[in-house]
Amino acid sequence: MAEAPVLPELARSLRALGHQPNPASEAAHAAIFAPLLDARTSAAGASAEVVLSAMRGSALVARIEANAVDAAVDGVEDPARVRALTAQTAELMAPLRAALVALDERSESAAQGDAGWDAWIAQLRAAFSAADTACSALSRLIAGRNEQVATLRWFERIGR
The pLDDT score that the predictor gives to residue 70 is 97
Q: What is the pLDDT of residues 84-96, one digit of tens each?
A: 999 999 999 999 9
Q: Residue type at 150?
A: A
Q: What is the mean pLDDT of residues 144-160?
A: 56
Residue 112 has pLDDT above 90, yes or no: no
The pLDDT score that the predictor gives to residue 113 is 81
- Spatial separation of the C-alpha atoms in residues 25 and 80, rounded to whole Å: 24
For 35-61, b/e burial (b = at least 16 CB within 10 A) is: bbbebbeebeeeebeebbebbebeebb
Neighbour-count burial of 20, counting CB atoms closer than 10 A to its CB (0-12 exposed, 13-18 middle, 19+ buried): exposed
Contact 124, 107 (CB under 8 A): no
Question: If you ran DSSP here, which 8-state letter would residue 98 be given?
Answer: H
Provide the whole-model pTM.
0.81
